[in-house]
A and B are shown apart, each in its own frame.
Chain A
Amino acid sequence: MTTRIHPPDAPPPHEPDDERLPCGRLLSQVWTDWEEGVTDAHRQRCPHCRAAVADLEQLETAVRALRDGAADGAAGADAADGAAAGGPGEAGAGSTASRDADIAARLTGRVMDLVRRELRPGRPLPLGEAGEDLWIMESVAARPLRAAAEEVPGVRAGSCRIAPAGTAGPAQVTVAGRPVRPTRVTVRLEIHAPLATPDLPRLAERVRRHVQAAADRHLGLDVAGVDILVTDLIDEPDSGEKGHGR
């Protein structure tokens, strides 16, 4: 029997950093300024800032429509239930309410999944050479790297954070008015290792090689380094099974 400290589907605990747009501005600050009606010359011209505001405006419109539609639907369901109450239709009213609650729960789940994907995709990561302006969102890049780690038998991948290497803030060097972005990234991956692992550093190195190979093969990311953090030791599944790769 496998003993796990964390349930199989528990999300890895981590606090995502505030996303920074390619122009150097924090996404949260751009949204705050929009909500408060604060504007400046940069935000009016910057395509990244304007795109961020457009996304938020669309979200607000969609959520408002969703809320209004849900209110109308609830009013209609209440009216139908009220008409059916007190007679043979009571059972029907209960099943209608139950079905509506089920639909509402699924809708809420879908909307929240969508909002999480839209609002918290992580930071954009550089692809290619400095002047190419090619990017991939962190959440997209993390998936093949986590899968690669789980190719090592017994390893379960947790949080995978990827960041441009060597930057603590917006790039200061510019070429033709555009910031020269870093081209390399660093990966920080948390894993659960098998309890019986005799040599954890060797296991971590093996995971590191898998991750670096995947970064090149699946993404074309230029990885400056891979930090592996063993956050837990778990009972290994039956011998011969691979890790819990997806």
Chain B
Amino acid sequence: MTQPQLPALTEALTAAVRGVPGVAFLKPGIARSLRTALRRADRPAVSAGSAGSAGSAGQDVPDAHHGRHTQEGSAGPGGPDGSHHPGDGAPPPAGLRISRPGGTGPWTIDVRIVTRAGTRALDITRATRGAVEACLATHFPTETAHITVTITGTV
């Protein structure tokens, strides 16, 4: 996999993960979540997930899920989830990290997701891994990767 192809893979994987039934969105970065908190500071906190909701990012759903606003601050230019283009200085999306330790060997793909309530965690994580594997097989059939999927919240 060459560097210029990484942005395309990032975008493809982002779309693949978001298309998994039961996945609400990729985990937003804390900077994006803080910007959401700042924008809502002038309104009372009203969220079904706010009480005792450690681990839930429910109140951040609209901006984190759609994410189609102008990049701000450290996010820089990028794709819908603030996707990262190596070389342009923009940070990678918090919920999707792609790396190749040492520059050779299998890629490491770390996926962090927020799922919808009422779904079974194990099933969703397996489906997400399957979607990532299918995406890799389509775009980069000769590449190998180790895939990690973590549920960081529910909405």
Contact = CB atoms under 8 A, between A and B. Distances in A.
Contacts of B129: 132, 134
The secondary-structure label for the interface of chain A is: helix
Contacts, number: 152
Contact of B55 (A66, A127, A143): A143
Interface stretch (B14-22, B91-99, B135-143): B91-99
A45 B101 contact: yes
Given A45-B102, A61-B74, A110-B37, A124 B30 contact: no
B5 interface: no
Nearest to A140: B55
Given A127-B125, A218-B121, A61 B151 contact: no
A110 B41 CA distance: 8
Interface residues of B, number: 49
A133 B97 CA distance: 15
Given A65-B73, A121-B55, A137-B151, A127 B121 contact: yes
Contacts of B154: 140, 143
Interface in B29-68: 29-31, 33-35, 37-38, 40-45, 50-57
B153 interface: yes
A51 B111 CA distance: 11
A55 B31 CA distance: 9
Question: Taking each of B31, B108, B120, B129, which has the highest tally of chain A beta carbons within 10 Å of its own beta carbon?
Answer: B31
Interface string A1-40: 0000000010100000000001000000000000000000
Interface in B115-147: 120-123, 125-126, 129, 146-147
A103 B101 contact: no
Contact of B149 (A50, A114, A134): A134
Contacts of B102: 45
A220 B40 contact: no
A232 interface: no
A229 B92 CA distance: 43
List the 9 shortest-distance A-B pairs measured between CB atoms, nearest first. Answer: A220-B122, A139-B55, A107-B41, A139-B54, A110-B37, A134-B125, A140-B55, A45-B101, A62-B34
Interface of A: 9, 11, 22, 45-48, 50-51, 54-55, 58-59, 61-63, 65-66, 69, 103-104, 106-107, 109-111, 113-114, 116-118, 120-122, 124, 127-128, 132-143, 178, 217-221, 246
